[in-house]
Structure 1
Amino acid sequence: MTSRNVRFVGGPLDGRIQDLRDSEAVAGRLLRHIHLHDGPKIETHYELRYTPESGWVYHLCGRSQQ
């Protein structure tokens, strides 16, 4: 199994780059990030997209506070 990089755009993870395994590289995949430090719980959602120009990118697709 190989890995590649994925970049985050928007939200609290903006600019982060991390490994993306082959099994995770599925366009439309949703990722949920929950921030619990110093305040209310903030839940952020990202959608995985791929283009030949930019490669794999998680784009911010919504956020809710609880």
Structure 2
Amino acid sequence: MVKFWDPAYQCFTFNQEDMTPTVEEYATLLHVDNVQFYKIYVKNPKPMTFKKKLVKLTDMTDTWAEK
């Protein structure tokens, strides 16, 4: 299955056809017993403000970014 996994699209590709697992299949693969099928599961991104990104990209200080 690893051979058919496309990390860019995060799905399986068979003969140029994309296929993604359903919630039921994910629950089976990950051995999750208490999955709620009518609930939306999301991964919360880590909050990073523009100022933090700017400081990280430019290697400057917080005071420089505030100006």
Report the TM-score when normalising by structure 2.
Answer: 0.20
Structure with bigger helix share is: 2
Q: Which has the larger radius of gyration?
A: 2
Structure with bigger strand share is: 1
RCO comparison, higher one (Cα < 8 Å, 6+): 1
